[in-house]
């Protein structure tokens, strides 16, 4: 078997499940420690019995994130201001490179973006002005208040 190196979180899960299997421990206690369901604990126990320590290695370890920023050869994100003079180089295999201040960068097409962030901005629905409903004067709810109003306006009887 090859040697498996786990991260801190993976190692914590491994130690709890190992103790659970070896000492015939309580699965509900393991649920509380790991913060997951009993079904997931059963899945982890089955994986531990089947694959051992290698089961706890996360599947996407070592992969580049899909939302990663473009970087230069030193690993620093390289964005340039609009209007920066650059020489664009198109290779025979249709890759694009740019040369700015004697440095060559790989050009990547940026995705279309919105002025709001999914992570930090809450979605705001456009608010429509609601039409205010005014019931007719003959409406039962309106009638009593209208009569009170008319009694207060006794000096205006000539208008109606």
Q: H-helix or E-strand containing 99?
A: strand 96-100
pLDDT of res. 111 = 67
Mean pLDDT rounded to a whole number for the chain: 81
pLDDT cut 90: percent of the chain above it:
31
- From residue 123, how far is each of 63, 112, 114, 116, 120 by CA, in Å? 30, 18, 12, 9, 10
> Are the beta carbons of 18 and 28 closer than 8 angstroms?
no
> Are the beta carbons of 106 and 90 closer than 8 angstroms?
no
Question: For residue range 117-158, what is the model confidence (pLDDT) as tens digits?
Answer: 666 667 677 788 888 877 777 777 777 887 888 888 877 766
pTM of the predicted model as reported, rounded to 2 decimal places: 0.44
Q: Tell which wins on pLDDT, 33 or 146.
A: 33
């Amino acid at each position: 078997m090859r040697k498996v190196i786990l991260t801190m979180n993976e190692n914590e899960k491994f130690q709890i499940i190992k103790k659970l299997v070896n000492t015939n421990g309580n699965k509900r206690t393991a649920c509380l420690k790991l913060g997951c369901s009993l079904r997931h604990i059963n899945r982890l126990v089955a994986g531990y019995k089947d694959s051992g320590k290698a089961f706890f290695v996360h599947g996407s370890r070592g992969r580049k994130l899909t939302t990663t920023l473009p970087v230069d050869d030193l690993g620093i994100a390289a964005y340039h201001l609009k209007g920066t003079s650059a020489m664009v180089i198109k290779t025979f295999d249709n890759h694009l490179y740019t040369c700015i201040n004697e440095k060559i960068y790989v050009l990547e097409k940026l995705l279309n973006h919105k002025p709001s962030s999914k992570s930090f901005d809450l979605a705001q629905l456009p608010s429509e002005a609601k039409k205010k409903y005014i019931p007719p004067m003959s409406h039962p709810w309106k009638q009593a208040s209208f009569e009170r109003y008319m009694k207060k306006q006794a000096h205006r009887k000539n208008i109606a």
